[in-house]
Structure 1
Amino acid sequence: MGIMGFLRNRMGLILVIVIGFALFAFIAGEVIHYGSSFFHGDSNEIGEVAGEKIAYDDFNKRVEENTANFKQQSRQDEINPQITSYIQENTWNQVVSEKILEKEMDKLGLVVGDDEIKSLIQGDNPSPQIIQAFGNPQTGQVDRTKLMNFLSNLSAAKADDPIRARWDAFVQQIVDNKRNEKYLSLVSNSLYVNSLEAKDDYEAKNQLANFKYVKLDYASIPDSKVTPTDDDYQSYYNDHKQSFDNSQETRSLAYVSFNAAPSKDDSSAIKTQVEKLVPEFKASTNDSLFVEVNADTKTPMVYQHKGQLDPKLDSVMFSAAPGFVYGPYLSTGSYKIAKLVDSRVGPDSVTARHILLPVNGGVDKALKTADSLKSLIQGGKSFADLAKMYSVDKGSADKGGDLGTFGRGAMVPVFEDAAFNGKKGDIKVVTSQFGVHIIQIMDQKGSSKVVKVAIVDKALSASTATQSAAYSKAQAFLGTVNNDNFTEQAQKSGLKVLLAPDVTATAASFGAVTNGREVVRWAYKASGGDVSDQVFTIGDQYIVAQLTTIKSKGILPLEAVKTQIKPFVITEVKAKILTDKLQNALNGSSNIDQVAQKAGSQVVPIQNIVLANPVIPGGAAEYKLIGTVFGSQPGKLSKPVEGQAGVFVFVVDNFIKPAPLTNAVRQKQEIGQALLQRSGQQILDALKDKANVKDYRVKFL
């Protein structure tokens, strides 16, 4: 009673102390794990290159720009997590490469002076970007009149005119490209191929070898008969240590998944729900509104030709009358009903050009500008010139707004309707998610029947009962596992343990999980062996995970790669056994036939092998074997050679030398070109290693 009374009287103080320690431990753990700004770095720092910080805000802005460009080029409004991860990774590589090269160019004092910039824009040998923007398609040369008119208009423009900012960015891009060109020229000019290298390359491609071999296959010894020792593993590891250099930290997971996919009852309920909409859909007089109100996917209604519809619709809609409703039918994970809204005969393709105006200043302002530009065009002003000056779609602006010829389905619906429903010569102004378009229809070709179909869909989704049942199973499993019994408990529960090896910190997916960022973020906070402290909800899956392995950046220890190298170590052990067998066969043998007889193998003749293509006919590349052949004397039995597929003993019959190399110029050029193609990436990789790149993206992405 004394102890209980003491605890009751002091409980408030005890709770304060306990909670205080818990909070301190949590905060300290986060600080230590992330290296936050309490001790070093900035909380807004996403990385570092050669001591220069990369701010998250700056990086994210680049990601947003690249994402917008991708959406515009791919004409996709939404992108999946995998594409997002791809864009983020590409952006990171761009930023790192730019900073590395910029530092190197600054060290070397590489600059582009004012006179050079003027020459790149107005000189006799202008930048390729100037030629592209102001070139004459017929001559391939800069249209000087067009260029000078633009520069004249630019100088007269107000200081806050957006065209000035776009021009400055354009010129800066030219300057950056020129600096890079200078740097690469320094690199390429340092590459040299001498006559001896040219001769060796020529002979490697043209000297022929004829030889015979005896081979004992690794496959002749079952893997189950080989038990590598610790020394075998250590020996292989020591010989190949550099190949275990981990360029970035990775983490491996084991996980179980509880499926919450829709049940048969769920499917039946969704189908019934869609069936009830059929009478209303048939009676609807505003099909666009009906789709907007009732469909899960607000698919725009556009005219489509045969072959563009779902196959189930393609077979019925082109012979039906407007108002016909088909369905419900199951397609792409949804129950759907479709209504034929209209059918007509229209062009198969359209040739058009456009000017795309941004709407960041408001749609009304952009529409007013579009009307002004439309009036100028109708008054005789060059559409192409205005496109180059005003269009933010740089891909087409550089070609005077030309979009080429396109069929149905290539453009967003509002753009497509304007292009296909107008007539040749029309100039139309429409607004899409990309901005305000001024469209000029240059030509229309072909003629075929097209239909406009309204589709109402209801996604086949799991009911609350189905989801709850799956989640309860996942929670029950989580309650039974710990760091030591994850696999054992999964097996007891009849669950399959799935593996996700070597997951990077920025991965968006792993294994069969397509949107697993939440799990990856947890894994990079956890310690080896930890089981997740929650059930992760990913789509229709509930996941419980365990962090099994952490592979740090740098040379991995033997234990981290032991499973990975086991097949190769087994092969090496087999090679030792077979080498001893062939060496015994060599003892007392004077020719290759005797070796084959003693080894229980056969002699295989090989003709016209070149060093540059070391492939055994009917087999794989045997680099070590062929390299040894070209370094051997004819008529002499070789020692055993451990190859890719087995252990060999050979004898060279003869070499056929090519005609002497009288002019090494072409050979030097070929080798030099190959060196040049590899040099860019190799130099960048070397500079990255030297720059000590630090990557903190896992904190933000």
Structure 2
Amino acid sequence: MALINTIREKSGVAVGLVAVGMLLFIVGGDLVGGKNRLFNRNDQVLGEVAGEKVELNDYNAALEQAKQAFTAQQQRQPDDQALGYLRDQAWNQTIYRMAFKPEWDKLGLTVSDDELVDMVQGDNINPGIKQAFTDKATGQFDKARLIEYLKNLDKLPPENQAAWHNFEANLPAERLANKYNALLKNSVYVTTAEAKRFDTFQNSKASVKYLFVPYGSISDSVVKVTDAQLQAYLDKNKSRYKVEDGRSVEYISVPVVASKEDSAAVKTSIAELATQFASAPVDSLFVSANSEQPYNKAFRTPADLPEELRKQLPLTQGKVYGPYAEAGTYSLYKVTGTGTGKESAARASHILIKADGTTPEAKAAAKAKAQDILNKIKGGADFAALARQFGTDGTKDQGGDLGWFGQGRMVPEFEKAVFGAKAPGLLPNVVETSFGYHVIKITAAPTKQTYQVSEVKKNIAPSDATREAAYAKAQQLKGEATDLESFRKLTTKDKTLVRQEAKNLDRGARSVNNLQNARELVRWAFGFNPDGSETKVGDISDVYEMGDQYVVAALTDERAKGTATVENLRPELSALVRNEEKAKQIIAKLPKAGTLEDMAAKYGSTAQVGTADGIVLGQGSIPNIGFEPIAVGKAFALKPGQKSGAIQGEQGVLVIEAVNVATPPATNPNLKAVQQQLAQQRSQQQDGKIYEAIKAHANVKDNRTKFF
């Protein structure tokens, strides 16, 4: 209460609730029970930061406060996705607080009461407070409204006062963090030598000739790599393959799909509603009581009606149409009103002939072809058949049918022709638009007729019996899979099953490939079986329900934190080592002397000779080839007319011949501006780099998968 007392002394007011916006930085999630839900262990340690244990109860308190703040701000409870985000943010907040405090203490950083008052109602008000008291209409911070809030803390509900106390407790840490980061940011410095090197990299340009033999010119099948080669490559490049711990799983999904019986039951139900719908005195109430889609009172043109109703045009007021099976639903439609709209709708088919170019000759040829097609149709040829034969857009497979459309949905020239028609039939002339030349047939004359349609829709959803049958099948699969080998045989015995793989899941994963809300599966992979034993490679999971499917999984691999293994990286390492072997073959075959053209001719047809202008030293790319930093560096070390030796590159083997190399002057009058630019860039990156450095030094241990 020190801050509240201090503010009272200085301002004579009581500190009140500062709205939800003040609490945006307080993050967390739902309250988790104090015991491990998997097997009821009494372990209360969530992890460790800088040698200090993170107690589950402390973390839970922050999560619950954050959940309340989220609910107040969003006016809803956080869903699974939001909870996952809030949990991660709460964990990061915990790391930040516990890892940075020793650093603040070493430097003797403190926050005075005067500073805290300043953050609440002084000249440097906390951004969260400003956001909470910013007028949404004007975008201006309303300090008077803040002061009014500050006068009424003691009159507010206890939970609001508790939220303020939590906010108050976090203010010193926020100010200390700002001070600490500012100290490090102010230490950012760019030397003259660094600025000069950067300037040289960005402004040195070269033009080159090159000989290029791509690795793809040699088939992968003729280059074999061994596990020893893969391991040797990995050992040589360990720093590039540092990884966190991970788990790989294979899983089989049993979908819960509505059966024929489920569909028949819904059809019977909606058929019974059809009779009632016809005599319903208030259609909107009937729809609200019986439909799974809200009532819509809008008048619609034929272009906006469901296709089943368009087939029945013109519609009769008071008549019930259906039921129709449409995209997983059964639908009833009742025409409750008719009217005349402002815009017309029509239906047409077309045959589009596009010009092969933009020249007058190409356009004339396209127009002549369209006119010839029009003449054939006038002579009795079938429009749809010619559309399938000559059409050049996506409607050709439908015989050119564009369906119904309203005004404003087609290009002006096309609309003018269609909506100028008075009756169905073939338009007498070819119509030119920006797309080409159109032969057009009006299949439903333009009309301003509109309809008000009430809809009753019932989804064809799986019944409880269907869901239970799918669950029983998943349980049967689990019973048959006693180890990894028997699990993999399940899909050979039942061809309707598909086994999928998810490699190197991380501890915090909340989805597994396209499986959403898969947190329990991930926790199992990193944790324990239901009997309390630790999950090991080859173990089979319980049956997990994920939306409309049941999932059984097998743990297939464990990756420890550190350097990845060959098995984890086999496809990537194989490609890299294979390219190294290909490079050796190419270099051995490549002539050592002669012009680039002579060398390419002697090597064979897969050797390419080309030129590249405007190569920038600092970008490392060669036009038409790609990222080749070694070759680019070699180019700038050559004199005009001088050739390099064979270079093992990223995309293939290259030989570079310099044509021209231009470097910036040794003394750049703008070097000071370059220094300032680089210093600003580094300063902007400091917050993230400081956090990552302190986090790494704190030796963080994250055991959250034991709890959620």
Q: What is the aligned partner in structure 1 of residue 623 from structure 2?
A: 617
Q: What is the aligned partner in structure 2 of residue 113 from structure 1?
A: 112
Q: What is the aligned partner in structure 1 of residue 684 from structure 2?
A: 677
State the superposition RMSD in angstroms: 4.4
Task: Please give the residue correspondences for 1:177-196 in structure 2 after superposition, counting only pairs within 5 Å.
Answer: 177-196=174-193
Q: What is the aligned partner in structure 2 of residue 511 from structure 1?
A: 513
Q: 1:180 aligns to what SS in structure 2?
A: helix
Q: What is the aligned partner in structure 2 of residue 595 from structure 1?
A: 599
Amino acid at match of 1:676: S
Are 2:474 and 2:543, in contact at CA under 8 Å, matched by a contact in 1?
A: no
Residue of structure 2 aligned with 1:221, choices 218, 222, 225: 218
Are 1:131 and 1:141, in contact at CA under 8 Å, matched by a contact in 2?
A: no
Q: 2:511 aligns to what SS in structure 1?
A: coil
- Which TM-score applies when normalising by structure 1? 0.66
Are 1:478 and 1:535, in contact at CA under 8 Å, matched by a contact in 2?
A: no
Verify: 1:532 aligned to 2:501, yes or no.
no
Alpha-carbon distance in 1 for matches of 2:300, 2:698: 57
Residue of structure 2 aligned with 1:573, choices 577, 581, 599: 581
Alpha-carbon distance in 2 for matches of 1:176, 1:306: 59
Are 2:290 and 2:456, in contact at CA under 8 Å, matched by a contact in 1?
A: no
Verify: 1:490 aligned to 2:491, yes or no.
yes
Task: Please give the residue correspondences for 1:14-93 in structure 2 after superposition, counting only pairs within 5 Å.
Answer: 43-63=43-63, 66=66, 79=79, 81-93=80-92
Residue of structure 2 aligned with 1:257, choices 253, 263, 266: 253
Q: CA deviation at 1:459?
A: 4.8
Alpha-carbon distance in 1 for matches of 2:510, 2:555: 17
Deviations 1:468-501 (CA, angstroms, capped at 9, x unpaired): 2773476167426533343345324334321111
Q: What is the aligned partner in structure 2 of residue 406 from structure 1?
A: none
Moved more, 528-537 or 198-207: 528-537
Amino acid at match of 2:625: G
Q: 1:545 aligns to what SS in structure 2?
A: strand
Amino acid at match of 2:554: Q
Q: What is the aligned partner in structure 1 of residue 549 from structure 2?
A: 541
Q: What is the aligned partner in structure 2 of residue 461 from structure 1?
A: 462
- Which TM-score applies when normalising by structure 2? 0.66
Are 1:214 and 1:603, in contact at CA under 8 Å, matched by a contact in 2?
A: yes
Q: What is the aligned partner in structure 1 of residue 402 from structure 2?
A: none
Are 1:262 and 1:462, in contact at CA under 8 Å, matched by a contact in 2?
A: yes
Amino acid at match of 2:84: S
Q: 1:624 aligns to what SS in structure 2?
A: helix
Are 2:474 and 2:551, in contact at CA under 8 Å, matched by a contact in 1?
A: no
From the superposition, tell whether residues 302 and 666 of structure 1 become closer, same or farther in structure 2 (CA, over 3 Å): farther
From the superposition, tell whether residues 122 and 493 of structure 1 become closer, same or farther in structure 2 (CA, over 3 Å): closer
Which segments of 5 or more consecutive residues in structure 1 lack a partner in the other structure?
1-30, 345-448
From the superposition, tell whether residues 285 and 503 of structure 1 become closer, same or farther in structure 2 (CA, over 3 Å): farther
Moved more, 215-224 or 131-140: 131-140
Deviations 1:633-662 (CA, angstroms, capped at 9, x unpaired): 444321222212101111223311234411
Are 1:82 and 1:514, in contact at CA under 8 Å, matched by a contact in 2?
A: no
Amino acid at match of 1:673: Q
Moved more, 509-518 or 274-283: 274-283
Deviations 1:327-350 (CA, angstroms, capped at 9, x unpaired): 655567544557899999xxxxxx
Alpha-carbon distance in 2 for matches of 1:330, 1:459: 9
Task: Please give the residue correspondences for 1:192-591 in structure 2 after superposition, counting only pairs within 5 Å.
Answer: 192-247=189-244, 249-280=245-276, 312=306, 328=323, 333-335=328-330, 457-462=458-463, 464=465, 467-468=468-469, 471-472=472-473, 475=476, 478-479=479-480, 482-494=483-495, 495-524=497-526, 525=528, 527-532=535-540, 534-582=542-590, 585-586=591-592, 589=593, 591=595
Q: CA deviation at 1:502?
A: 1.5
Deviations 1:82-111 (CA, angstroms, capped at 9, x unpaired): 454344334333333343334433443322
Deviations 1:425-448 (CA, angstroms, capped at 9, x unpaired): xxxxxxxxxxxxxxxxxxxxxxxx
Amino acid at match of 2:599: V
Deviations 1:668-696 (CA, angstroms, capped at 9, x unpaired): 12212221232222222222222122222
Alpha-carbon distance in 1 for matches of 2:61, 2:279: 49
Q: CA deviation at 1:197?
A: 0.8
Q: 1:277 aligns to what SS in structure 2?
A: helix
Alpha-carbon distance in 1 for matches of 2:40, 2:46: 11
Are 1:258 and 1:474, in contact at CA under 8 Å, matched by a contact in 2?
A: no
Alpha-carbon distance in 1 for matches of 2:663, 2:682: 26
Q: CA deviation at 1:130?
A: 5.3
Percent identity between the aligned chains? 31
Alpha-carbon distance in 2 for matches of 1:480, 1:145: 68
From the superposition, tell whether residues 87 and 305 of structure 1 become closer, same or farther in structure 2 (CA, over 3 Å): farther
Deviations 1:179-219 (CA, angstroms, capped at 9, x unpaired): 22212111211211011111111111111112221111100
Paired residues in the alignment total: 550
Are 1:480 and 1:489, in contact at CA under 8 Å, matched by a contact in 2?
A: yes
Q: What is the aligned partner in structure 2 of residue 653 from structure 1?
A: 659
Alpha-carbon distance in 1 for matches of 2:338, 2:92: 49
Are 2:181 and 2:690, in contact at CA under 8 Å, matched by a contact in 1?
A: no
From the superposition, tell whether residues 73 and 590 of structure 1 become closer, same or farther in structure 2 (CA, over 3 Å): farther
Moved more, 141-150 or 218-227: 141-150
Are 1:341 and 1:452, in contact at CA under 8 Å, matched by a contact in 2?
A: yes
Q: 1:276 aligns to what SS in structure 2?
A: helix
Amino acid at match of 2:579: T
Moved more, 622-631 or 202-211: 622-631
Alpha-carbon distance in 2 for matches of 1:627, 1:98: 45
Which segments of 5 or more consecutive residues in structure 2 lack a partner in the other structure?
1-34, 340-449, 529-533
Q: CA deviation at 1:549?
A: 0.5
Q: What is the aligned partner in structure 1 of residue 382 from structure 2?
A: none
Alpha-carbon distance in 1 for matches of 2:195, 2:243: 35
Alpha-carbon distance in 1 for matches of 2:37, 2:587: 51
From the superposition, tell whether residues 46 and 147 of structure 1 become closer, same or farther in structure 2 (CA, over 3 Å): closer
Are 1:341 and 1:454, in contact at CA under 8 Å, matched by a contact in 2?
A: no
